[in-house]
Amino acid sequence: MNLKKIYEQTEIVISFEVFPPKDDANGEKLEKLMSELEVLRRYHPSLVSVTYGAGGSTRGKSEEIVCRVKNELKITPMPHFTCVSTSRETIKNYLQAMETAGVENILALRGDLPKDGTICHDFLHASDLIEFIKQESSLSVAAAGYPEGHAEADSLQKDIEYLKLKTDKGADVIYTQLFFENEKYFQFVEKCTHAGISVPIVPGILPVTGYKQLAKMTSLCRVSIPEKFLSALEKHKDDSDYVKKCGIDFAMNQCRELIESGLPGLHFYTLNKSFAVSEIIESVCSSQAI
């Protein structure tokens, strides 16, 4: 099913993000990921998105997961694709491969800039990639949005102008960067609407399950953490059970409030594990039609 149809549903659309496991020469981690997804299948996800290493570092594994999600789990897959350091020809081949595999959707990204500064100038921004995908394929396209502004953006307002360009070029849905303050998401949606963006803006939720993981994730993107939440995690950072409970409870409250606001869906950053997301969905969505 394509993105437009998926978000026409009246129920809250549940989707999950996974990534190709690293250091997995014998494929054990990939099998583990598939069994975690098998668990998550019981929540009827409309979509599983699969990340893509900027520059194509995980291409083979990403494609394998996308095909297995589609063929074995019978869930609609959405590969991510990044255009930084990638040639026109490579992108064309990739799009063809995905369409041949029966894929209908793609999350089009620029990707993080390589540290050595070598970039391919064919595609400088995600909006260029989206335009190209729409010309070259019949894929439905999603784009990334940043409730607190992208790390390189001069201002949130400017970032939203570029986000509008992504929808003008053909993005059907926006998935947001993780955030911990719902107010930031609500304000972002309001500003996007004011800027003329009318596609669904789906919040990305990260259930925190480890203190180090939180530090790593938040060092990669611009995201504020409520003081009370952060100090509770810091105080008990060596107690992994406490951190998990605190992180899952926090995400549950966050999701409850988001659902009450009438959002289009919830996109969970699963980090390839099912336990936290399962607990949240069972607690928060049990009374919802999903």
Q: Which residues bind ligand FAD (CB under 6 A)?
A: 51-52, 54, 80, 82, 107, 109-112, 125-127, 144, 150, 152-153, 159, 162, 165, 175, 177, 204
Query: Distances from the Cα of 285 to the Cαs of 184, 200, 206, 255, in angstroms?
Result: 22, 20, 16, 9
Q: Which is nearer to ligand FAD, 85 or 137 (CB)?
A: 85
> Token pair 């949606």 is at which residue?
189
- Selecting among 17, 63, 131, 148, the annotated active-site residue is 17
Closer residue to ligand FAD, CB minimum distance, 53 or 237:
53
CA dihedral 18, 22, 25, 30 (to 10 degrees): -20
We find the least distance from the C-beta atom of residue 283 to ligand FAD, in angstroms, to be 24
Residue appearing with tokens 């690293």: 22
Nearest distance, CB of residue 196 and ligand FAD, angstroms: 16
Distance CA 13, CA 6 (A): 7
Q: CA nearest 69: which of 143, 2, 18, 22?
A: 18
Of 150 and 184, the one with the shorter C-beta distance to ligand FAD is: 150
Reduce the secondary structure of 199-259 to three states and give it as a string.
CCEEEEECCCCCHHHHHHHHHHCCCCCCHHHHHHHHHCCCCHHHHHHHHHHHHHHHHHHHH
Can 17 be counted among the known catalytic residues?
A: yes
Report, in this order, helix, strand and coil percent for the chain, each rounded to 5: 45, 15, 40
- Nearest approach, Cβ of 219 to ligand FAD (angstroms)? 13
Maximum Cα interatomic distance, the chain, rounded to a whole number of Å: 52
List, as one string, the DSSP characters of 155-204: -HHHHHHHHHHHHHTTEEEEEEEE-S-HHHHHHHHHHHHHTT--S-EEEE
239/231 Cα distance (integer angstroms): 14
86/177 with CB nearer ligand FAD: 177
Provide the annotated active-site residues. Answer: 17
